[in-house]
Structure 1
Amino acid sequence: MSDTRVFADLAEFEAAVGQHLGTGEWHTITQEQVNLFADATGDHQWIHVDPERAAQGPFGAPIAHGYLTLSLIPMLGAAIYRVEGLSMGVNYGVNKVRFPQPVTVGSRVRANAELAQVTDAQTGKQAVVRWTIKIDGEDKPACVAETVVLLVP
């Protein structure tokens, strides 16, 4: 079980640049979650939504969409850290994303976070966080991403 790292304010958060922020809780990827993501995005490729056909396919089971894995970062990251005193945090973008290993339905994933950079922005601070989403029992990560978030006091 992870302990959420709590920063009192943006200044304390900025002082943590270069540090590992923590490791989150395990989350099991379900077929229902994959199906709902397919419905939301219109990506109903059989490798995601047809368990019988996917079982005979290259991964031996249905796999989560790469972008589903990426979209889990806010949820997986909530158990890792939080910055107090913010009015909001807004996704600003992604500098880099890779999906080295597919995530099969039923797998457990969790995130590791490192604070790479914090810079001044017009309305607050812009932070770059390096995320590694690990799959339980696998050597390669599911996703490696640098996200950019605007933090507004």
Structure 2
Amino acid sequence: MSRRYRLSRRALETLDEKLYNYKDIENAIAVRKVEMEGEKTHYERAGGSSNRISKPVEDLVISWDEDEALRGMYAFRDQVDKLRRKINQDETMTTIFELRWLSATEPSWEEIGDSLFISRAQIYRKRQILLELFDKCCGGVW
């Protein structure tokens, strides 16, 4: 993989840890939406007449669109989905991704290599490629 720079060990670990959040992202989005449903909005008033017609559902959807936390969660989900589409043709990479970041057991890289009959050096090269692809999907922030 051609890059102008190489990711440091710490950057690779950070990306690795970040990808663990992917399996719970749908739940986190749903929880945030429920939290926002319970919050009082500035549109709710305790009385008095108004020229404004109340549209609680529309107001809720607008607040979801404006929420920075939800935007960040959606962006993260989209970035990981983009990575998954890129590695979709390589069955080994897809299997590694699913074993590492989607399984409940969270196996180590050595355990993944053993289960796929891949040497330690090969599994760490594939790890490097996966994490660099994810970094590229994120815009090279790390």
Please give the TM-score of this superposition, normalised by the length of structure 2: 0.31
More relative contact order, 1 or 2 (CA 8 Å, 6+ apart) = 2
User: Which structure has the greater CA radius of gyration?
Assistant: 2
Higher strand residue share:
1
- When normalised by structure 1's length, the TM-score is 0.29
